[in-house]
Structure 1
């Protein structure tokens, strides 16, 4: 079976929760899954003052280990319609892997969160996906076969480009059942795709 990395950045824990749901989905497809986060670049005193969730259980990833996975699923919240500097800085450091083609043909996907329904979810997903395409990866999103993302009965994230959640302007909203199930669905689909290619 395939080996999957769920790589995320989360300031307040919303993407941490989504990352664990993505990992659950990938494991349900039989994959070996690691959940890791990128380093925090905000100075500790500022992060504490802004009430960042600094006690996350996931270990810190290194760029060098990326090539040892069959699939990498990247999650990061939006920063003005794009991925935040913490994730961008981590991926920017992967130039050596790009130069060697070390990630060519691996499976990739993206997931995100925004404060509002129209806070840049799809643009943020594309900012992540663009990097993965440059690395030569095969992208798997959250297709409409996950029909719950089309609900009109409640506010919910979800996009054919990847799983999403809406956090609220003060971070008061946690991922909903629909959003977490979407993350699981995408994680399972990515693992199933990697299993077919590498299993």
Structure 2
């Protein structure tokens, strides 16, 4: 079976909702085993409480876990136009994997949540891919075969670089059905590509 890890960090639940949709999409591809994990929190409990962070009981991953998967789909909120510090800290702990070339040839993808449409959404998707390329991973985006990303009638997250959502300045906007559909598409797209690289022939493409 193709093994896919959906690994994310989420403060207010937006990225977690996308991660669950990404995982559902990957699971829709026959022969795919999917795990949903989060990176460790680095913010003290009292500050999390004051900031209104949403509790998350998803199991925590370690950097050593990454080697066990054929594909890893990373989800992060945008922090000043870049990935969240929690995700960067996690990736910084994977130096041992880099030294052994343990992630070379594995599939990687990124999805993100951002407060505003022009608040670094695409910058976060693209810059998060940089360390993944240093690991030697194969980057997969979200092609325009997911036509929902061209919708101009409403706010739509995501880009050709990955799925996403726009949370709003106060975080009150939840992922739309288009955003979630894009996340499911991305999960299935990554699972199919991973299967093809493993020599498994699958027919059909999510729309």
TM category, shorter: over 0.9
Unaligned runs of at least 5 residues, structure 1:
none
Off by >2 Å, runs of 4+ in structure 1: none
SS at match of 1:181: helix
Note the C-alpha offset of 1:57.
3.0
Q: TM-score, normalised by structure 1?
A: 0.98
- Name the structure 1 match of 2:6: 6
In structure 2, the partner of 1:38 is 39
Q: Determine the structure 1 residue equivalent to 2:203.
A: none
Counterpart position of 1:193: 193
Aligned position for 1:121 = 121
CA RMSD in angstroms, aligned pairs only: 0.8
Equivalent residue of 1:78, what SS? strand
Partner of 2:74: 74
For 2:23 and 2:17, the matched residues in 1 are separated by 10
- Three-state SS of the structure 2 residue aligned to 1:5 is strand
Is there any run of 5+ residues in structure 2 with no aligned partner, and where? 201-207
- 1:62 is matched with 62
Q: Secondary structure at the match of 1:35?
A: strand
Indicate the SS of the match to 2:37: strand
Task: Give the secondary-structure state (helix, strand or coil) at the position aligned to 1:193.
Answer: helix
What does residue 86 of structure 1 align with?
A: 86
CA distance in 1, matches of 2:155, 2:17: 18
Residues 35-75 of structure 1, C-alpha deviations (whole Å, 9 max, x = no match): 00001100111011111012x23100011110000000000
**TM-score, normalising length from structure 2?**
0.94
CA shift, 1:152, in A, is 1.2
